[in-house]
Amino acid sequence: DAGVTQSPTHLIKTRGQQVTLRCSPKSGHDTVSWYQQALGQGPQFIFQYYEEEERQRGNFPDRFSGHQFPNYSSELNVNALLLGDSALYLCASSGGSGTASEQYFGPGTRLTVT
């Protein structure tokens, strides 16, 4: 049973560029959440998708947007990249239509903005 997968593993972008990160949830899961983990900090919640709609959002600017596809996979898009966007981006999936408390995390995508 494949767990949560993310691509790419690493990414280097320049300030002002745009980036798209991808996530496939664990088999049987229908809800995807995205977290940003800056160096030396705990993960911070960005947003959550269920049934192809954003269900809740953390304190992140509109430059951060997402999408969920009918197969439950998800994308995180960041526009107008800033140096401060450099972080590990973690995708987590859960079942239970978003009401399950346990989340399973992928290995993350390391984004470096230069």
Binding site for another protein (CB under 8 A): 4, 6, 31, 33, 35, 40-45, 48, 50, 55-56, 58, 90, 92, 94, 98-108, 110
- The answer to whether 23 touches 109, Cβ cutoff 8 Å, is no
Q: How far is the CB of 51 from another protein (least distance, A)?
A: 11
Rg (the chain; Cα; Å):
13
Q: How far is the CB of 108 from another protein (least distance, A)?
A: 5
**Facing residues of 79 across strands?**
none
Q: How far is the CB of 39 from another protein (least distance, A)?
A: 11
Q: Residue 18 or 103: which CB sits closer to another protein? A: 103
Q: How far is the CB of 107 from another protein (least distance, A)?
A: 4
What's phi and psi for 44, nearest 5 deg?
Answer: -115, 135
Q: Maximum distance among all alpha carbons in the chain? A: 39
Q: Residue 92 or 111: which CB sits closer to another protein? A: 92
The secondary structure element, H or E, covering residue 76 is: strand 74-78
Give the closest residue to 108 by CA, choosing from 12, 23, 47: 23
Q: Residue 66 or 106: which CB sits closer to another protein? A: 106
